[in-house]
Amino acid sequence: MTLDTPAVQTPATDSTSAALYRLNGVTRTYSQKGREVTALVGVDLEIEAGDFVTIQGPTGGGKSTLLQLLGALDRPSTGSVHLGELDIATADNRRLGRIRAHEIGFVFQGFNLIPTLTASENVDMALEPLRLPATERAERVSDALRRVGLAERADHRPGELSGGQQQRVAIARAIVKRPRVLLADEPTGNLDESMRDEILGVLQRLNDDGLTLIMVTHDSAVARRARRRLRLEKGVVRDITR
C-alpha cells in the first residue's frame, strides 16, 4: 500500500447506507483556570455506517473533544449526539458504559498494552465485560489477531514486538468485541513511515469489511486515504472532502 494515490473521495450513497451518528447543535464548554472555554460550537454532523472519516485541525481546535463525544466518554453542553437511536446526551451512565463496552472500539497513539501479558491476553481483556463463554472468547481473540496479521505472534509479549505490531495488537483489542465503530486518535503518530503504512493497511481492510472508521490525524497523507475528510478549527467543523 502506498499513500500516493488517495482513496475514493465520494461518500457511499447506496440505498443501504444510513446515519450511524447524528449530531445536532452540539456545543461543548468547560471551565479552565476560572474561565469558560468553548471546545465545540453548534456542530451539525452525520456520519454514515461503514464510512471512513478523518478529522484534522490544529491542536486545541476541538478534535479530542469531538472524539470523546462520539465515544460516549463525554456529553455535550447543548445539542444531541445520536449513536443510532441512542442520544448520548441524555442516556444514563450505565447505558453509556454498555455502549462503550459493546459497540465502540478505541485505538490511541499510545498502544496501552500490559507488558506482562501476551498479545492474546491483551486482546482478551477487552472481552471481560461481555461475559462470553471461554470457547467463544478464545475464538474471537484468535480471529481478531488473524485479521490484523498477528496470528503467529499471539504468544509474544509487547516487548517482543515492533511498534507497528504493538499497534496491531491494540487494534485487535479494539475489534475483538465486534464494535459498530472504531475511533482512532492519532493511531500512526508514534510510528515511522513504513509502520504507518502497515497500520493504515490494516485499518483500510477493516473498513473495507464494513467497520465504520473515524480517525483523528495531523498527517495529511493519512487523511487523504479517507472517503470523507473533516477539518475542526476553533470548535467549528467543515467538510473538506475533495
Coil/strand/helix, residue 143:
helix
CA distances from residue 18 to 50, 123, 174, 182, 227 in whole angstroms, order as listed:
9, 30, 23, 17, 15
pLDDT at 148: 97
Average pLDDT over residues 194-212: 95
What pLDDT does 169 receive?
Answer: 98
Mean pLDDT of 47-74: 95
| Beta strands, E only, 33-179 | 35-48, 52-56, 78-83, 86-87, 104-108
Confidence of residue 16 (pLDDT cuts 50, 70, 90): very low
pLDDT in tens, 149-188: 999 999 999 999 999 999 999 999 999 999 999 999 999 9
**What pLDDT score does 154 carry?**
98
Q: What percent of the chain has pLDDT over 70?
A: 93
Each domain of the chain, given as residue ranges in start order, spans 50-74+93-239
Q: Say yes or no to pLDDT of 51 above 90.
A: yes
What was the pLDDT predicted at 190?
Answer: 86
* d(C-alpha 21, C-alpha 213), whole Å: 12
Taking the C-alpha atoms of residue 123 and residue 172, their distance in angstroms, rounded to an integer, is 6
4: pLDDT strictly greater than 90: no
What fold characterizes domain 50-74+93-239? Rossmann fold (3.40.50)
The tally of CA atoms less than 13 A away on the side-chain side of residue 30 is 10
Q: What is the mean pLDDT of the chain?
A: 91
Predicted local distance difference test score (pLDDT) of residue 242: 75
Residue 199 has pLDDT above 50, yes or no: yes
Q: What is the largest CA-CA distance in the chain?
A: 53
Residue 5's pLDDT band (cuts 50, 70, 90):
very low
Look at residue 6 in the predicted model and tell me its pLDDT: 39
Give the bridge partners for 23, in sequence order.
45, 81
